[in-house]
Amino acid sequence: MNYFEMIKEKQRNFLENPRGGIEDFLKQEKKSQEFINKLTGDIKSLFILKEFHKEYAMLLGELLKINGFDLSKFVDERESVCLIQRLNEWNITAKEYKRELNETTALRLARVYASSLEIVWKKLKKIVLLIGLNPQNKPLNIPSLKGKIGKIEEKYKFRLPNIKKILNSDLRNPINHENINFIPPDTISFLDIKEKETRFTTEEIYRFLIDTTIISMAFYRVENSAIASKLKPLLKLSDDELKEHSKTGKLTPEMKKKIY
C-alpha cells in the first residue's frame, strides 16, 4: 500500500473541498481513537495509554505556546507513514512469534522491539530540540535525553514520571542490530554499540513491544487531537473563506472574528 500517494490524494481533495476534508479528518480521528481504545483492552494497557497520553499532551501543549510553532511541520507525513508501517510490522511479527517460537521469530521480535524503542526516543529528542534544550541538535544518548526531560520538568513545573521511566530501560544506548542473538530455548541477548550485553526472555520482549506500541499510539493520538482542535473552528468559516485559507494559510481579521 502506497501511503504517500494516499496522503497526496487527500491533500488534493482537501484543496478542492476544504470543508469536506476537515469533516473527513474529524470523523477519521474519532474512529482512530475508538480503534486505539479497543486495542488497549486490558487494565495495564489502558493505564499506559492514559498516562503517556497525559504526559505527552503536556509536552505538546508547551510546544503549541511557542511563537511560530507549526504543528503541521512537527507532525510530518513521513513520520506518520513510518509509524503506520511500523505498527503493521510490529503486529505481524508479534503474531508470528505467538504462533511459533523459533530462532527466526525470536530475532524478528527482538529487532522490532529495538526499533519501537528508538521511535519513541526519536520523538522525545525532537521535542527537546524544539523546546530549545538542544539548540544545535547534537546527538543525545539516552542518559543525556533523560537529563533534558528533567530540565523540561523543572522549566514547566510538571512531572513526567512515565516518560522518564521508559528512558530507564536496560536498553539505554543505540542497539547494534547485527549483534542480537537468540539463546535457546527462549532468551535474547542484546549487544549495544558500547559492547554492553542485556538479556531478556522472548515473553518479556513481547510484553515490552506491546507497551512501546501503546506508547507510540498514545503520542499519535495526542498529535491527531491537537490537529483536530485546530481544524474544527475553521468550520465556522464560509466555503469561500475556507478555500482562501487553505490556499494562503492565513486568516483575515473577518475570519478571526468568526473563529475566536
Give how far the C-alpha of residue 154 lies from the chain's centroid of Cα atoms, to the nearest Å: 24
Instruction: Compute φ and ψ for 112, nearest 5 degrees.
Output: -70, -30
The per-residue pLDDT for 246 is: 85
Confidence of residue 260 (pLDDT cuts 50, 70, 90): confident
CA distance 60 to 69: 11
Interval 76-96 mean pLDDT: 86
pLDDT of 31 over the 80 cut: no
Q: Cell numbers of 139, please? A: 546527538
Instruction: Compute φ and ψ for 76, nearest 5 degrees.
Output: -85, 160
Q: Cell numbers of 80, please? A: 506518520
Q: How far is CA 189 from CA 37, 172, 175, 235, in A?
A: 33, 14, 11, 53
Interval 147-160 mean pLDDT: 95
Residue 9 burial by CB count (10 A; 0-12/13-18/19+): exposed, middle or buried?
A: exposed
Q: In this predicted model, what pLDDT tens digit does every residue of 170-196 receive, in sequence order? A: 655 555 556 789 999 999 998 776 777
Confidence of residue 41 (pLDDT cuts 50, 70, 90): low
Q: Which amino acid is at 62?
A: E
pTM of the complete model:
0.87
pLDDT of 251 over the 70 cut: yes
CA distance 226 to 248: 21
How many CA atoms lie within 13 Å of 167's alpha carbon, on the beta-carbon side? 21
Q: Which is more confidently placed, 73 or 237?
A: 237
Q: Which residues contact 204 (CB under 8 A, 6 or more apart)?
A: none
Q: Which residues contact 111 (CB under 8 A, 6 or more apart)?
A: 177, 180
Confidence of residue 74 (pLDDT cuts 50, 70, 90): confident
Q: Which is more confidently placed, 88 or 103?
A: 103
**Is 216 within 8 Å of 205 (Cβ atoms)?**
no
**Is 218 within 8 Å of 226 (Cβ atoms)?**
no
Instruction: Compute φ and ψ for 100, nearest 5 degrees.
Output: -155, 125
Confidence of residue 53 (pLDDT cuts 50, 70, 90): very high
The per-residue pLDDT for 175 is: 57
